[in-house]
Amino acid sequence: MPAPVTATLGFPRMGVGRELKRAVERYWKGDDDGQELGATAAELRARHWQLQVEAGIDRVPVGDFTLYDHALDTSLALGVVPARFGSTPFDPAAGDPADLDRYFALCRGADGHPPLEMTKWFDTNYHYLVPELAPDQTFTFSSTQVAAHLAEALAQGVPARAVVLGPVTFLALSKRTDGGEPLDLLDAVLPAYGDWVRSLVAAGATAIQVDEPLLVTDLSEAARAAYPPALATVRAAAPEAEITLATYFGDLGDATDLALGLPVDVVHVDLVRGADQLDRVLAALPSDTGLSLGLVDGRNIWRSDLAAVRPLLDRAVSRIGADRVQIAPSCSLLHLPVDLGRETGLDDELRSWLAFAVQRLDEVRILGTLAAGDRAAVADALAENTQAAVARRTSRRIHRPDVAERMASVTPAMAARPSPYEVRAKAQRDRLDLPLLPTTTIGSFPQTAEVRSIRSRHRRGELSEEAYVEALRAETEACVRAQEEVGLDVLVHGEFERRDMVEHFGLLLDGFTTTTNGWVQSYGSRCVKPPVIFGDVARPAPMTVEWSAFAAGLTDKPMKGMLTGPVTILQWSFVRDDQPLADTTRQIALALRDEVTDLIDAGLSVVQVDEPALREGLPLRRADHQDYLAWAVEAFRLAVGSAPDEVQIHTHMCYAEFGDILDAIVELDADVISMEASRSQMELLDDFAARDYPNEIGPGVWDIHSPLVPTDDDLDRLLAQATATFGRERLWVNPDCGLKTRGWPEVHASLERLVAAAARVRAATAGP
């Protein structure tokens, strides 16, 4: 039997030790002129390609690597540079040091100019930089980066497949500065795409992967109409190359015939999130088109049950033959940690249930060998895989009767505050006595090298528990005094005891475990280490009360207790796949409910329960929205439902398109919501005003993901927009997000300006 092709769609970029993160940040600090960064990037590319070659992968992706973001790299390949950065196209791969500075200016801002807007990549926790298009945008093929990487790979003997973000998805994820429809620019962008693809062919590409995940969403008529000419352009530019149309993150649904009718050689489908589509796809697949089967999960770390996966593979091979089948992960492995082999802290049982990116390569190889008919060659691996799958299903660590009993006791009344917002607001005003336009921050304060050292030395046993607590108390008190000094109205404790807003709770809740090196890229150089939810969730003891109560005792001002919400803990963890997500989220909500109650009993008058991932979790198909939003909203309300009227409940959201979930945000019924708004220039205000948002709101006026200190003019302009839309009575003044990644000098300067801007509005309000 002929052997099917094995493939991957993308690989993690940061390196198993986050080498790219460190190299990029050294460059930003001025400790490197770019030579070290370039060398580190090249070494990582070569290492990752070699890992895939050694695993027997026949189509190794090239062009998926980036110093910051692949959507940004696509913008530059097409000559898209906003005018504020000097709209002349440039080539980051050309070796000009000034081009590298311009590249990072788009990511982080420069010379007082704000960076590109950032938002979530479909329903993942990866953030991409939104392409910014002028209404008369011209496109010019301008970057040789993918061709340069392709030349590197071919020189190393890598069976390379060049990867490009497809033109329809690129435009659909873009924003026009005039608010127009980006897809109207299709005719303008396609010649540049054609030049780009021809450059890849000239560089030696014999296989090209065109990523079009938009195909698994509800397509507009404009998007449907765009696909035939878009893929025809690619086909014409590479008539001899194998063109793979890569779809992922879901089922093709009503776009099945459209996708399978495009002029490509192979279509990739996600059979992890869309297993039910296989028979439909096989029935419609043209006789001259191959099918790439996304059989192992590119987004979660649970080891594949190969015995359960095999029927899908066998069905495809029996229908179209092994020579037309490719075997691959469901999507790019970007969303996984690199290598389980680096994990030394996990117990053997848990470890046997997991697979990171390198282990996914082994699973693809095993399935390829099976499809080729050589079961004997992988018999031992299959037996061990089956044993692990059975052990996980039957483990006593997963299910807890006490958690099931509590879940069964939940009533609708538990998910409702005692009184409506209007009544609560009066009680909170009486208790808190806050000024007009109260100022606050989102939660975290700078995690300096000293703070990180304190935690690291404590973990290694080099710092006693007593010394550790004393050191963090000193940091917390200094943070409280700094907030008092700049004049903030509602304070936070700074979260110095927390490495991460989700991992912190994963360390303290039953049913979770954490990893040592399970890092994944969130955006740019920012990595997160998601905890692993393997079983029923319960809270064995209070998690935040000690630090919140300590900080509250240092000041007469209101102190916020800080919690991460149930949906965000779910979304930013690697979640068990053996029960509905709604059940896991409710378990987390009940644990948080206990924490909220304990914070209130400790005297906290304000509690913030952050839900930045609420929009991220929204299913890609509208038909699935209502069910998700119902259980997501219920989980938040269940978590905070024990709060009495006089306790003010805050929530926070950032970097997402909120217009799609405004009704759900209203239904959360938080007393105050703070949101990212500065990068998008308060774009969300119109949506919230149109929905007549009834409670209090703090649209962010300082973009904390940029090192720029906001100017008085910037703050006044953004506040003027906010007050013009919402008035002053229900408006808060705050940054976009937590301050963990910033330095104290810029934080102090920025907060002083933020407080002064609020004072100017108050003074104007008090005038004639």
Starting at the edge strand that comes first in sequence, how are the strands of the sheet with 672-675 ordered?
Answer: 560-564, 606-610, 648-653, 672-675, 696-699
Helices (H), 641-728: 662-668, 684-690, 712-726
Q: Whose structure tokens read 């390379």?
A: 160
Buried b (16+ CB within 10 A) or exposed e, 677-714: bbbbebbbbeebeeeebebbbbbbbbbbbbebbbeeeb
Question: Which 3 state secondary structure label does DSSP give 35?
Answer: helix
Running DSSP on this structure, what letter comes out for residue 621? S
Separation of alpha carbons 120 and 99, rounded Å: 26
- Single out the residue of 685, 699, 765, 703 nearest to residue 733, CA to CA: 699
Cα-based torsion angle of the residue sequence 216, 220, 225, 231 in order, rounded to the nearest 10 degrees? -30
Pairing of strands 526-528, 520-523: antiparallel
Residue 145 vs residues 121, 545, 698, 724: alpha-carbon distances, Å: 22, 50, 41, 45
663 CB contacts (<8 Å, ≥6 apart)?
629, 691
Give how far the C-alpha of residue 97 lies from the chain's centroid of Cα atoms, to the nearest Å.
30
Cα-based torsion angle of the residue sequence 625, 627, 633, 637 in order, rounded to the nearest 10 degrees? 180
Q: Please give the full DSSP string across 97-144, using - where no structure is assigned.
A: HHHHHHHHHHHH-BTTB----EEESTTSS-EEEPPEE-TT--------
Pairing of strands 672-675, 648-653: parallel
Residue 703 vs residues 113, 116, 387: alpha-carbon distances, Å: 12, 11, 50
145 CB contacts (<8 Å, ≥6 apart)?
63, 73, 76, 77, 91, 92, 93
| CB of 695 closer than 8 Å to CB of 731 | no
| CB of 233 closer than 8 Å to CB of 167 | yes
Separation of alpha carbons 562 and 651, rounded Å: 10
The residues facing 521 across adjacent strands are: 527
Largest Cα–Cα separation, the chain: 88
Give how far the C-alpha of residue 614 lies from the chain's centroid of Cα atoms, to the nearest Å.
12
536 CB contacts (<8 Å, ≥6 apart)?
398, 399, 400, 403, 404, 510, 511, 587
State the catalytic residue, choosing from 335, 650, 705, 748. 705
Active-site residue, 705 included? yes
Active site residues: 705
